[in-house]
Amino acid sequence: MIRCYKTKFKDFIMSSEKYLFIKKVNELTAINTKYQIPFSSVYLDQNDEECILDCMRTAKIGGMGPYSEKCLRFFKTKYGFNYSVLTPSCTDALEMSSILLDFSNDDEIIIPSFSFVSSALPFALRNAHIVFADSMANNPNIDLDRIENLITSKTKAVLVVHYGGYACDINKLISICKKYNLFIIEDAAHCINSFYDSKPLGSFGDFGVFSFHETKNISCGEGGLLVVNNTGYFERAEIIRDKGTNRSDFFLGKVDKYSWVDVGSSFVLSDILAALLYAQLRKIQEIQTHRLTVWNTYKTELEQLEEKGKCRITHVPEFATNNAHLFYIICKNHKERSKLLSYLQIYGINASFHYQSLHSSKYFKAKHDGRELPNSEKYSNCLLRLPISANMGIPEAEFVVKHVLSFYKTI
Ligand SMILES: *Cc1c(COP(=O)(O)O)cnc(C)c1O
């Protein structure tokens, strides 16, 4: 059986409380490195093991096997993703979209600075000119009201990140991109099972990409999905995925041998990982229910901090849904966030910050055009994510809440 930290949680609370009783709280040393509340953890059980073993026993462990088929069928039935390919990561799915749109040094792309490096990397790799956009003042998502003046005759696409699985204003996005004839790429890495206007995120752009990295809601360790909504690109997507060959046509019997027909790379997910992904997808409702329980506990019990003006907490825009991918607090400043991180660490609570602004990163800062992106910087400096996973329950969430509240009593 797979060991899960959850079974140890009771011991953990007892030992840490006992220890704290003896030791003074303000000594900033981790008191218990054995049992921590991990920042995230994958919800694994025997069903996951069985799917992986089943895949091994059939010996079809390469790509595009039976489990990959099952996953793609799931995405088709549940979300209407009729044209999609599994990839070894979301970064790869983004790279595929960069290749599909033939990005080159003549092209510009607008990307939020407050994102993970993978949102920008595939375009940097193809020498495209990246124009970083700021976030909104009241939400980490890209500020669509201020992207029009970033658009030039060279702009080819806008990439949006639905941060935390909370939708950007899709209608606004689509109307801007229609007006200037721009492609839309949705970095929906956080967005499994999240919707806008009853349609899943990832289904609005020309391409939508998902991540099944171990830190995401549904995980096979490492994995991704490219959803091709602009269906004219699907055939080429299959070629690019498969080393620039028309191997999928060969499997479908459309050609009698396959050969090198285009550029591409090796973007195929092993069926062993697809087996784990399928096992996870089958219990998506259970995973989402557990995550939402933790999220709702945080929301209900930490709201008072916002009311008292101590910090800000996660808000879901009225047009968005909540898939409980993350819960964040926005501290007053960087110093307060560092203090809160260390404070929670004393109790074995692994909180985390998120995203160093990409425009001021070591790699990019000399390439940036000098515009200030104050909101992006603010989230980089002040945003703190609390632990959340389907392995947590109300007691764990309460434990975290208790210590966040006690921190804010000290300052
Ligand atoms: C996690 C993440 C990615 C990268 O996902 P991988 O599957 O690890 O490549 C891309 N974009 C965002 C916004 C992410 O959070």
**What's residue 34's pLDDT?**
55
**What's residue 257's pLDDT?**
92
Cβ neighbour number for residue 374 with a 10 Å cutoff: 10
Distance (Å, whole) CA 338 – CA 334: 6
H helix and E strand count, the chain: 13, 13
The confidence band for 174, taking pLDDT boundaries of 50, 70 and 90, is: very high
Over pLDDT 70: what percentage of the chain?
A: 91
Summarize pLDDT for 126-149 with one digit per residue, the tens. 999 999 999 999 999 999 999 999
Six token digits for residue 372: 């200030």
Q: Average the pLDDT over 107-116 and give the result.
A: 98
Over pLDDT 90: what percentage of the chain?
A: 88
Distance (Å, whole) CA 160 – CA 135: 11
Distance (Å, whole) CA 318 – CA 161: 17
Strands 352-353 and 383-385: antiparallel
The answer on pLDDT for 166 being more than 60 is yes
Distance (Å, whole) CA 230 – CA 203: 10
Please list the residues that pair with 85 across neighbouring strands.
226
**What's residue 116's pLDDT?**
98
Summarize pLDDT for 318-345 with one digit per residue, the tens. 999 999 999 999 999 999 999 999 999 9
Spacing, Cα 188 to ligand 1 middle (Å) = 9
Residue 163, ligand 1, Cβ within 6 A:
no
Residue 325, ligand 1, Cβ within 6 A:
no
Helix (H) or strand (E) holding 312: strand 312-313
**What's residue 251's pLDDT?**
86
Looking from the CA of residue 190, the nearest atom of ligand 1 is 15
For residue 183, the number of C-alpha atoms closer than 13 Å in the C-beta half-sphere is 25
Position with higher pLDDT, 79 vs 21: 79
The answer on pLDDT for 261 being more than 70 is yes
**What's residue 23's pLDDT?**
40
Summarize pLDDT for 55-72 with one digit per residue, the tens. 999 989 999 999 999 999
Asked if 298 and 316 touch (Cβ cutoff 8 Å), the reply is no
Strands 183-187 and 129-133: unpaired
Looking from the CA of residue 223, the nearest atom of ligand 1 is 7
Residue with tokens 């303000």: 26
Summarize pLDDT for 269-309 with one digit per residue, the tens. 999 999 999 999 999 999 999 999 999 999 999 999 999 99
Strands 129-133 and 108-112: parallel
Residue 119, ligand 1, Cβ within 6 A:
yes
CA end-to-end distance (rounded Å), the chain:
44
Averaged pLDDT score across all residues of the chain: 93
Q: Average the pLDDT over 218-237 and give the result.
A: 98
- DSSP state for residue 145 in the 8-state scheme: G
Six token digits for residue 156: 């080819």
Spacing, Cα 176 to ligand 1 middle (Å) = 25
Q: Spell out the residues 6+ positions from residue 253 whose beta carbon is closer than 8 angstroms to its own.
A: none
The confidence band for 236, taking pLDDT boundaries of 50, 70 and 90, is: very high
Summarize pLDDT for 175-221 with one digit per residue, the tens. 999 999 999 999 999 999 999 999 999 999 999 999 999 999 999 99
- Angle at alpha carbon of residue 82, lines to 78 and 88, rounded to 5°: 85
Protein residue whose Cα sits closest to atom 2 of ligand 1? 189
Six token digits for residue 356: 């160093």
Distance (Å, whole) CA 306 – CA 336: 15
Q: Average the pLDDT over 224-237 and give the result.
A: 98
Residue 40, ligand 1, Cβ within 6 A:
no
Inter-CA distances, 79 with 82, 214, 263, Å: 9, 22, 30
Q: What's the predicted TM-score (pTM) here?
A: 0.93
Asked if 229 and 205 touch (Cβ cutoff 8 Å), the reply is yes
Which of 85, 98, 187 has most ligand 1 atoms within 8 Å of CB, for mutation? Answer: 187
Please list the residues that pair with 186 across neighbouring strands.
160, 208
Residue 135, ligand 1, Cβ within 6 A:
no
Six token digits for residue 244: 């620039």
Asked if 305 and 313 touch (Cβ cutoff 8 Å), the reply is yes
The confidence band for 11, taking pLDDT boundaries of 50, 70 and 90, is: low
Which of 91, 96, 383 has most ligand 1 atoms within 8 Å of CB, for mutation? Answer: 91
Asked if 287 and 218 touch (Cβ cutoff 8 Å), the reply is yes
Q: Spell out the residues 6+ positions from residue 280 whose beta carbon is closer than 8 angstroms to its own.
A: 42, 43, 48, 212, 218, 219, 220, 287
Spacing, Cα 217 to ligand 1 middle (Å) = 12
Distance (Å, whole) CA 128 – CA 105: 4
**What's residue 27's pLDDT?**
40
Protein residue whose Cα sits closest to atom 5 of ligand 1? 90
Cβ neighbour number for residue 236 with a 10 Å cutoff: 18
Six token digits for residue 326: 């993350």
The confidence band for 22, taking pLDDT boundaries of 50, 70 and 90, is: very low
Residue 323, ligand 1, Cβ within 6 A:
no
Q: Spell out the residues 6+ positions from residue 125 whose beta carbon is closer than 8 angstroms to its own.
A: 95, 98
The answer on pLDDT for 45 being more than 50 is yes
Distance (Å, whole) CA 11 – CA 17: 10
